[in-house]
Amino acid sequence: MQLVCPAGNLPALQAAIDAGADAVYAGLRNETNARAFPGLNFSDAELAQGIAYAHARGRKVYLALNTYPDSARLAPWLAAVDKAAALGCDAIIAAELAVLDYATRTYPALARHLSVQGSATTAPALRYMHERFGISRAVLPRVLSVQQVERLCETSPVPLEVFAFGSLCIMVEGRCQLSSYVTGASPNRHGVCSPAKFVRWEEHADGRRSVHLNEVLIDRFEPAEPAGYPTVCKGRFEVRGETFHALEEPTSLNTLELLPRLAQAGVAALKIEGRQRGVAYVASVTRTWRDALDRYRAVPAAWSAQPAWQATLTRHAEGHQTTLGPYHRHWH
């Protein structure tokens, strides 16, 4: 299985490659990708440098163009496809049909991966995208059970990529409306969940901190309590007199124990989430998964998830806890 790792900037790209990533995925500094935070992503020159660094070491770079333009704003997405082809990206990761159509007609040799934002969860959906746009891979949403992944591997016309580790979204990718409901800016159309310009922190005299998103109180933290980036889904809210994580508790997906099952199912690639995370995260998580994959490839029958691997991944998890998420559902 290929190991696909995040690159939010050039140092992270280089760290991922050095730690053993087979491929990295990156975005441009605009709304064409779903991590359009200030200070993140690549200029044209940085992307060219990153591609050269990866290619010199036999690795690949995929460009994430995984947001949804409207008809009035389509030009930047098409220009991004042009850049991907001109700079030598190994594939684009796209979801919107007009973007895929343009890439198919204009650059047929440029590989097209269906983004997780495309929300393709059935064999007919995958067949349509393959027949219409010639996709060569699809990234599955993080809402499927492992049994569903196994069945799709049996029936899909293209190789499949699944998320292996990182922040877990409770929504079907490409369909979340929470950020746009509170801020008017959608991660699907504007590239950012909970844009920084809407975030406001308050320091209290007793040491507590409160965080608001566009005047909506998202959470309040005790003096020594770690505070994550404020998103609506992971906030704490008062419900019937009780305050708790009403939608989702901060935690990270970790499928390490499922590695043999995913390999036997025929999954083509494992994806690490985290383009918004730092170099230390990228290097450590990539190195851990590289070691796990190499050991499985060498002696699959004797493989087991090592406690040291799990301890490392837990340290990098949101809330310092991990879950199998929907993978472990018994119903499907």
Digit-coded pLDDT (tens) for 280-291: 999 999 999 999
Last residue of a domain, one of 244, 261, 293: 244
- Give the pLDDT band of residue 52 (cuts 50, 70, 90): very high
Does residue 143 lie within any of the structural domains? yes
Does 205 score more than 80 pLDDT? yes
The tokens describing 1, both together, are 């299985």
Instruction: For residues 58 and 118, state if they share a domain.
Output: yes
Does residue 188 lie within any of the structural domains? yes
**Mean of pLDDT values over 167-173:** 71
Question: Which of 29-38, 157-166, 225-234 has the lowest average pLDDT?
Answer: 225-234
Instruction: For residues 239 and 271, state if they share a domain.
Output: no
Does residue 174 lie within any of the structural domains? no
The tokens describing 267, both together, are 């999954």
CA dihedral 313→270→103→276, nearest 10 degrees, is 0
Nearest to 332 by CA among 150, 75, 92: 150
Cα maximum dimension of the chain? 61
Amino acid (one-letter) located at 264: Q
Element (H, E) at 323: strand 322-323
In a 3-state reduction of DSSP, which class is residue 63? strand
Instruction: For residues 90 and 149, state if they share a domain.
Output: yes
Instruction: For residues 119 and 237, state if they share a domain.
Output: no
Does 171 score more than 70 pLDDT? no
Nearest to 191 by CA among 124, 117, 265: 117
**Mean of pLDDT values over 30-51:** 94
- Give the pLDDT band of residue 71 (cuts 50, 70, 90): confident
Burial 103-114 (b: 16+ CB within 10 A, else e): bbeebeebbbbb
Q: What angle do CA 295, 298, 304 make, to 5 degrees?
A: 40
Amino acid (one-letter) located at 27: G
Does residue 270 or residue 173 have the better pLDDT?
A: 270
Paired residues of 320 in beta bridges:
none
Angle formed by the axes of helices 123-133 and 97-106, to 10°? 40
Paired residues of 221 in beta bridges:
209
Last residue of a domain, one of 225, 244, 263: 244
Question: Which of 67-71, 73-77, 260-264, 319-323 has the lowest average pLDDT?
Answer: 319-323
- pLDDT, residue 169, reads 73
Instruction: For residues 148 and 281, state if they share a domain.
Output: yes
Angle formed by the axes of helices 74-87 and 97-106, to 10°? 40
Does residue 97 lie within any of the structural domains? yes
Domain count, the chain: 2
Does 332 score more than 70 pLDDT? no
Instruction: For residues 287 and 143, state if they share a domain.
Output: yes
Does 172 score more than 70 pLDDT? no
Instruction: For residues 211 and 62, state if they share a domain.
Output: no
Instruction: For residues 189 and 43, state if they share a domain.
Output: no
Does 305 score more than 90 pLDDT? yes
Instruction: For residues 13 and 140, state if they share a domain.
Output: yes
Last residue of a domain, one of 224, 244, 264: 244
Instruction: For residues 132 and 260, state if they share a domain.
Output: yes
| Domain span at 209 | 179-244
Mean of the per-residue pLDDT values for the chain? 92
**Mean of pLDDT values over 136-156:** 95
The tokens describing 196, both together, are 């920084």
Nearest to 113 by CA among 84, 79, 75, 151: 84
- Give the pLDDT band of residue 36 (cuts 50, 70, 90): confident
- pLDDT, residue 192, reads 77
pTM value is 0.91
The tokens describing 84, both together, are 């991907």
Look-up of token digits 């097209």: 112
Output the CA–CA distances (angstroms, integers) from residue 89 to 104, 277, 279, in the order listed: 15, 22, 22
- pLDDT, residue 242, reads 92
Does residue 14 lie within any of the structural domains? yes
% of the chain with per-residue pLDDT over 70: 97
- pLDDT, residue 252, reads 87
Cα 304 to the center of its chain, rounded Å? 25
Output the CA–CA distances (angstroms, integers) from residue 305 to 20, 80, 310, 323, in the order listed: 18, 40, 7, 15
Does residue 51 or residue 173 have the better pLDDT?
A: 51
- pLDDT, residue 155, reads 97
Does residue 86 lie within any of the structural domains? yes
Instruction: For residues 124 and 212, state if they share a domain.
Output: no
Does residue 173 lie within any of the structural domains? no
Instruction: For residues 304 and 161, state if they share a domain.
Output: yes
Does residue 265 lie within any of the structural domains? yes
- Give the pLDDT band of residue 328 (cuts 50, 70, 90): confident
Does 319 score more than 80 pLDDT? no
CATH code assigned at 23: 3.20.20.70
